[in-house]
C-alpha cells in the first residue's frame, strides 16, 4: 500500500475554468475535501484569456428575451436565442455526427445552469448575442462577461478559497498512482521540486489540452505539420498535454482527430494588433509562391479561416492590398468581427501606424513598395507569379465576377494605387479541443467505451473529447469556455456520487 504525504477525497489537476469549476462544485455541494494542483506559478490557465460562455436557455437569455444587436443596425429577421434542441442539433450537424451525442447533450442540458451559478457568484454579463457578425448560421448563445475571462476566473478563485479548496501552484502532477486497477492518488512535485505522494479517491484532469506541444499537435490532430508552422497566441501558457499523458498511462482511449480552435495573425503579434486586424480582412491572400489559394470571404467564418491557414504546409500567407484599401479600412472599417478584438464596420485605426512603424524598423512581416515587383522582392515570392495574380484579381474587380474562387464582388478591391502593401500571416492555435475520450459523466473511457480504473478518473475542458467532430463548431460561439465550466461541474458531481457510494 502506498504511503501518502497528504490525502484528499478529490484531486483536480489544472486550475483553469474547468478545474476551478470542478473543485468549487465538490467543495460547495459536499463535505468532501478537494485540492487543485497547478504546474504554473499562477492560477487561471487558458480560461483567463477566454471571452464568453456558450449556453442555451440560461437565466440571462430568459430575462433579456432578445439577443443584443452588436451592429446597431438591427437584428436579422428570425434572430433569437436558441433552444437546447437547436444547440444540440448544431453540434451534431456541423460535426457530421462525429460529435458524441452523450457529451453534447450533457453539456447543453447543463449549460444554462453554468451561467446562473457564475452569476450568483458575482459574474456580470454585458450582453448575450453572437460572436462573429456575418457567420450566417451562428447561434445567439454567446454570454459576454464584464471583464472577460480574467474577471470570471478571479470570481471563481475567490469562490474556491471561500469554500476551503486547497490550491497549490508550481506543483505539476507527474504520475497517477494505481492499486488493484483503481486510481488511489497522484505523484506531484512541489514548488521546491520535492516529490509528494497525494492520496485521492477521484482525480479530475483539467490541464487545458496540448496547444503548446508541437509534437502532440502533429501526432493527434488532422494537421500533421501544424506543430512546425503554428504560433501560440498567449505567451507563458504550458498546455503540453499533461492530462493526455496521464490518461494514456492507464489505458484511456484517444480521439481519432482532435480539432483545433485556430485563427491567424501577423507573426509575433496578438489578436487586436493593427497588422493582424488588416491582415485578416478578405483582401487578396497569396501563398509563399505568390499565388492566390482561396476565396478570402472565409475570413468572415473565423474557425474556417483558421482551418485554411492551418492547411498551408509552410504556414505562410500574405495579405496584399493597395493604398485605397488601407484608406477603406480606416474609413469603412472591418468586414469581419472577432469579439472584442475586432468589430464589423468599425474603422481600423491602428493598422497604418503599425504598418509604417514595423516597415521602418525593417520588420520582414511587413512589405511596402511602389511597384508589385518591388513588393514581391520584399515578400520573397516570384515577381511574375504575383503580378499575374494581381492582374487576375483586378480583372475580377472590374467585372464583378471571380471565375476562380467566386468571392462576392463587394469583397474584391482592385490593387492599383501605390504604395502597395503585403502583410505576412501565420496560423495561430488558440487551443486544442479534446484528446481524451469520455462519457456523459466525463469519466475517462478506454477503447471498449467503459470507464478506466473503475471510473474514478475524469477529464474535463480541453482535455475531454466529444463536443466536436474534426473541427471546432463555429456556429456555437463560446463553446470551449462554456464546456470548460460545465464539464468541470458534471465531473465533480459524478465524483461525489462515486465517493459517497
Q: What is the pLDDT of residues 444-479, one digit of tens each?
A: 999 999 999 999 999 999 999 999 998 888 899 999
Using the 3D structure, point to which of 371, 394, 429 is the last residue of a domain: 429
Collect all residues with Cβ–Cβ distance below 8 Å to 324 and sequence separation of at least 6. Answer: 413, 414, 416, 417
DSSP 113-175: HHHHHHHHHT--EEEEE-SSTT-TT--S-EEEETTHHHHHHHHHHHHHHHTT-EEESS--EEE
86 domain-assigned: yes
Residues 360 and 451 in one domain: no
Burial of residue 109, with CB atoms counted within 10 A of its CB: 0-12 exposed, 13-18 middle, 19 or more buried: middle
Whether 336 has a pLDDT exceeding 80, the answer reads yes
Whether 138 has a pLDDT exceeding 90, the answer reads yes
Q: What is the pLDDT of residues 337-380, one digit of tens each?
A: 776 777 788 899 999 999 999 999 999 999 999 999 999 999 99
Helix axes 84-94, 101-121, angle to 10 degrees: 130
307 domain-assigned: yes
Whether 303 has a pLDDT exceeding 80, the answer reads no
pLDDT confidence tier of residue 46, bands split at 50, 70 and 90: confident
Q: What is the pLDDT of residues 422-449, one digit of tens each?
A: 999 999 898 999 999 999 999 999 999 9
Using the 3D structure, point to which of 407, 429, 451 is the last residue of a domain: 429
Residues 285 and 252 in one domain: no
Collect all residues with Cβ–Cβ distance below 8 Å to 163 and sequence separation of at least 6. Answer: 24, 27, 28
Residues 354 and 396 in one domain: yes
Residues 68 and 199 in one domain: yes
Residue showing cell 492499486: 179
Helix (H) or strand (E) holding 354: helix 351-360
Arithmetic mean of pLDDT over the chain: 94
Collect all residues with Cβ–Cβ distance below 8 Å to 57 and sequence separation of at least 6. Answer: 81, 83, 84, 112
Residues 252 and 272 in one domain: no
Integer Cα distance of 101 and 89 in angstroms: 10
Residue showing cell 477566454: 50
Read off the CATH number of the domain in which 369 is found: 3.90.700.10
pLDDT confidence tier of residue 231, bands split at 50, 70 and 90: confident
Residues 406 and 461 in one domain: no
Residues in the chain: 501
Sign of the dihedral defined by the CA atoms of residues 323, 324, 329, 330, in that order: positive
Integer Cα distance of 329 and 337 in angstroms: 13
Residues 216 and 335 in one domain: no
Cα 32-34-35 angle, rounded to 5 deg: 170
Read off the CATH number of the domain in which 116 is found: 3.50.50.60
- Do 43 and 149 contact (CB within 8 A), yes or no? no
Residues 355 and 319 in one domain: yes
Using the 3D structure, point to which of 393, 412, 429 is the last residue of a domain: 429
Integer Cα distance of 12 and 354 in angstroms: 43
Integer Cα distance of 368 and 418 in angstroms: 9
CA Rg, the chain, in Å? 24
Whether 307 has a pLDDT exceeding 90, the answer reads no
Integer Cα distance of 99 and 259 in angstroms: 11
231 domain-assigned: yes
Whether 71 has a pLDDT exceeding 90, the answer reads no
Residues 161 and 203 in one domain: yes
Residues 85 and 132 in one domain: yes
1 domain-assigned: no
180 domain-assigned: yes
Integer Cα distance of 87 and 92 in angstroms: 9
Residues 414 and 485 in one domain: no
Residue showing cell 501526432: 219
Q: Which domain holds residue 477?
A: 6-258+433-500
* Cell numbers representing residue 182 in the block: 483503481
Residues 212 and 267 in one domain: no
35 domain-assigned: yes
Number of domains in the chain: 2
417 domain-assigned: yes
- What pLDDT is attached to residue 135? 77
- Do 250 and 453 contact (CB within 8 A), yes or no? yes
- Do 3 and 197 contact (CB within 8 A), yes or no? yes
483 domain-assigned: yes
User: In the chain, pLDDT over 90 holds for what percent of residues?
Assistant: 83
Integer Cα distance of 156 and 135 in angstroms: 32
Amino acid at each position: 500500500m502506498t504511503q501518502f504525504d497528504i490525502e484528499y477525497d478529490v484531486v483536480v489537476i489544472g486550475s483553469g475554468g474547468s478545474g476551478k469549476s470542478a473543485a468549487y462544485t465538490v467543495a460547495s455541494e459536499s463535505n468532501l475535501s478537494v485540492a487543485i494542483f497547478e504546474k504554473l506559478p499562477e492560477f487561471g490557465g487558458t480560461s483567463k484569456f477566454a471571452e464568453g460562455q456558450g449556453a442555451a436557455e440560461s437565466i440571462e437569455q430568459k430575462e433579456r428575451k432578445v439577443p443584443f444587436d452588436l451592429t446597431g443596425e438591427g437584428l436579422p429577421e428570425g434572430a433569437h436565442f436558441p433552444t437546447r434542441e437547436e444547440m444540440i442539433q448544431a453540434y451534431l450537424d456541423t460535426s457530421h455526427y462525429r460529435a458524441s451525442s452523450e457529451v453534447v447533450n450533457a453539456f447543453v442540458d447543463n449549460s444554462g445552469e453554468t451561467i446562473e451559478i457564475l452569476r450568483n457568484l458575482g459574474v456580470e454579463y454585458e450582453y448575450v448575442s453572437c460572436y462573429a457578425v456575418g457567420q450566417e448560421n451562428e447561434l445567439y448563445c454567446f454570454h459576454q462577461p464584464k471583464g472577460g475571462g480574467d474577471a470570471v476566473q478571479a470570481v471563481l478563485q475567490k469562490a474556491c478559497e471561500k469554500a476551503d479548496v486547497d490550491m497549490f501552484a508550481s506543483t505539476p502532477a507527474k504520475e497517477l498512482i494505481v492499486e488493484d486497477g483503481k486510481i488511489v492518488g497522484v505523484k506531484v512535485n512541489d514548488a521546491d521540486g520535492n516529490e509528494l505522494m497525494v492520496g485521492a479517491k477521484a482525480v479530475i484532469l483539467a490541464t487545458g489540452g496540448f496547444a503548446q506541444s508541437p509534437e502532440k499537435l502533429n501526432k493527434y490532430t488532422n494537421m500533421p505539420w501544424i506543430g512546425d508552422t503554428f504560433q501560440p497566441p498567449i505567451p507563458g501558457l504550458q498546455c503540453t498535454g499533461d492530462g493526455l499523458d496521464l490518461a494514456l498511462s492507464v489505458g484511456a482511449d484517444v480521439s481519432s482527430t482532435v480539432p483545433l480552435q485556430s485563427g491567424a495573425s501577423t507573426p509575433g503579434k496578438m489578436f487586436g494588433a493593427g497588422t493582424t486586424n488588416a491582415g485578416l480582412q478578405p483582401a487578396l491572400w497569396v501563398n509563399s509562391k505568390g499565388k492566390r489559394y482561396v476565396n478570402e470571404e472565409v475570413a468572415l467564418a473565423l474557425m474556417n479561416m483558421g482551418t485554411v491557414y492551418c492547411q498551408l504546409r509552410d504556414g505562410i500567407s500574405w495579405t496584399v492590398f493597395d493604398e485605397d484599401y488601407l484608406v477603406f479600412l480606416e474609413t469603412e472599417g472591418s468586414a469581419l468581427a472577432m469579439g472584442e478584438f475586432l468589430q464589423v464596420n468599425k474603422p481600423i485605426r491602428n493598422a497604418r501606424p503599425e504598418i509604417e512603424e514595423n516597415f521602418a524598423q525593417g520588420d520582414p512581416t511587413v512589405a511596402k513598395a511602389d511597384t508589385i515587383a518591388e513588393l514581391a522582392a520584399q515578400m520573397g515570392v516570384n515577381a511574375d507569379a504575383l503580378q499575374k495574380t494581381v492582374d487576375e484579381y483586378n480583372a475580377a474587380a472590374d467585372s464583378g465576377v471571380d471565375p476562380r474562387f467566386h468571392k462576392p464582388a463587394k469583397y474584391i478591391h482592385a490593387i492599383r494605387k501605390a504604395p502597395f502593401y503585403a502583410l505576412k500571416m501565420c496560423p495561430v492555435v488558440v487551443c486544442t479541443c479534446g484528446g481524451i475520450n469520455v462519457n456523459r459523466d466525463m469519466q475517462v473511457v478506454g477503447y471498449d467505451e467503459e470507464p478506466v480504473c473503475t471510473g474514478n478518473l475524469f477529464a474535463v475542458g480541453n482535455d475531454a473529447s466529444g463536443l466536436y467532430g474534426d473541427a471546432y463548431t463555429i456556429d456555437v460561439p463560446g463553446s470551449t469556455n462554456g464546456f470548460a465550466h460545465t464539464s468541470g461541474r458534471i465531473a465533480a458531481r459524478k465524483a461525489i456520487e462515486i465517493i459517497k457510494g
